[in-house]
Amino acid sequence: MNNLNGVVCVLTRKNGSEFLWVKRRMEHNFMGGYYAFVGGGIENDENLTIAMARELFEELGILVSTSGIVQWTNLDDREKIKKERNFIQFLDSLELEVDHAAFRPITDWRSGDQYNQKAYVRVFELSVDEELLDRPKKFIDEEATFAEWSTFEKGIELLDSGKAVASALVRTLLIHFSKSIRSFEQSQVLEELSTYKLHKGIFSLPMKSQTLPPSTTTNCVIIADDDNKKFLVVDPGGTDQHEQERLLRFIGELTTDGLEFIGVLLTHHHNDHHGALPLLLKTLNCPVYGHPKLSQRTEYKINPISNIVFGGLRTLETPGHSDDHLAFYIERTKTIVAGDMVASKGSILIAPDHGHVGDYLESLERLIKLNAQSAIPSHGSILVQPSKYFGDYISHRKKRHADIYALIHEKGHGTAIDLVPQIYAELLPDLYPLAALSVESHLLWMLEVGDISFKDDVFFVS
Ligand SMILES: [Zn+2]
């Protein structure tokens, strides 16, 4: 992607000591529940500052014109503009023009692989009067649940504590602005920030891996302990040599900062979770920890998790996707390192070899009870307050189960692959064999609880 497709505005007040951010609605596929600056997409060939002015008007009711910056209180006008996209006509009717010069360009940002969508945005700063948007809550609508003014330091604190999740762009700008509002030079372009700091001592590094579509990367997670003295690397799954070297460099940086690297944790045995492990072992000769079953299923010497001394990390047995699956819970920030329990897009494959649908549902139920603030799945973007998301996965899985149950009872008998075209009506035939694995897991669970029988490679209703 080469063209800018969005605009973002850091609204500041009180001489640049405070900024405004919003919490995006959970339903958004892109950064749902994230704290963000105000912004949005560029319409057609819209000029960038016009797009920025339109977004501010739509979302917050702020009108930036050559006659000044004012708060617009007529909600009908904003509604009309949203629907009819005639922002310029609206300004014309008032004989106003956008004040292009009010927007200070700060940087361009190209998002990395951490999100469900790619974005390439121009970031502006706009300084406003103190009294403007003093009570911004009532101007927020379908984009965000609330907006608030904060100092940059408080913003960073909120992210570190786990109470808020934001993109790498937001964290980076908060850190720059906390030093000086002018510290970011216009010429700087923030290219893909590959190592993403989520909360204090928690980093995610998406690495290209041989995984299942729609994913192309595996999130390697780096966790420091509560005292910030030592750290672990979870699922170094990347196969790309440059990215593997980048991971090594990052481990080196933390070590230089005085932290001790104590080993690698694996969530389960699948290949897309340990592609970079051979290089780590060769270079750093570190211990590997995981479920005892991994000893037979991988080429590595696996140490028991109970041997790790590490403040604030809880291991959760979460069989289902695989019977050797573990998730990890970081207590200080209420963050789940979720492995393949969920993905931020697409669904999780339960294959019959080591998977189990019933166990999977139970494991998800247990994750819900943690009431976590955030979860890092192995594939895709970070999830905010993920319990509802886990619940949606359970409903989706139960519906699929009910569909397969109904179909096999309607047909009387069948194999997994027979049922696929009706269960997955939208699926490309190329993917039928993969879907059949999932259907078979559901049939095996029905067999286990006595709903159906199995003879001569065929499932049937007895
Ligand atoms: Zn897996």
What pLDDT score does 326 carry?
98
Between the CA of 57 and the centroid of ligand 1 the distance, in Å, is 45
Query: β-pairing, 302-303 with 288-289?
Result: parallel
Between the CA of 341 and the centroid of ligand 1 the distance, in Å, is 8
Between the CA of 172 and the centroid of ligand 1 the distance, in Å, is 32
CATH fold for domain 196-395: Metallo-beta-lactamase; Chain A (3.60.15)
Between the CA of 347 and the centroid of ligand 1 the distance, in Å, is 11
Between the CA of 270 and the centroid of ligand 1 the distance, in Å, is 5
Helices (H) and strands (E) in the chain, counts: 12, 25
What pLDDT score does 310 carry?
92
Between the CA of 449 and the centroid of ligand 1 the distance, in Å, is 25
pLDDT tens for 207-266 read: 999 887 778 899 999 999 999 999 999 999 999 999 999 999 999 999 999 999 999 999
Between the CA of 262 and the centroid of ligand 1 the distance, in Å, is 24
Between the CA of 388 and the centroid of ligand 1 the distance, in Å, is 22
- From CA 40, how far away is CA 390, in angstroms rounded? 28
Between the CA of 332 and the centroid of ligand 1 the distance, in Å, is 27
CATH fold for domain 6-186: Nucleoside Triphosphate Pyrophosphohydrolase (3.90.79)
What pLDDT score does 146 carry?
81
Contact of 169 with 49, CB cutoff 8 Å:
no
Between the CA of 355 and the centroid of ligand 1 the distance, in Å, is 10
Between the CA of 135 and the centroid of ligand 1 the distance, in Å, is 46
Percentages (nearest 5) of helix, strand, coil residues in the chain:
35, 25, 40
Residue 263: what are its φ and ψ, rounded to 5°? 150, 180
User: What's the farthest any 2 CA atoms get from each other in the chain?
Assistant: 81
Between the CA of 176 and the centroid of ligand 1 the distance, in Å, is 38
Between the CA of 349 and the centroid of ligand 1 the distance, in Å, is 8
- State the DSSP string of 338-362: EETS--SSS-----TTT--HHHHHH
Between the CA of 346 and the centroid of ligand 1 the distance, in Å, is 13
Burial track 67-87 (b if 16+ CB lie within 10 A, e otherwise): eebebeeeeeebeebeeeeeb
Specify the long-range contacts of residues 409-412, CB closer than 8 Å, at least 24 apart. Answer: 409/461, 412/460, 412/461
Low-confidence ranges of the chain (pLDDT < 70): 1-2, 85, 113, 134-142, 181-194
Between the CA of 271 and the centroid of ligand 1 the distance, in Å, is 8
Residue 45 tokens, joined:
């060939």
Between the CA of 70 and the centroid of ligand 1 the distance, in Å, is 53
pLDDT tens for 165-223 read: 999 889 988 988 888 766 666 555 565 556 788 999 999 999 999 887 778 899 999 99
Closest CA to 167 of 129, 118, 98, 230: 118
What is the Cα Rg of the chain in Å? Answer: 25
Between the CA of 321 and the centroid of ligand 1 the distance, in Å, is 7
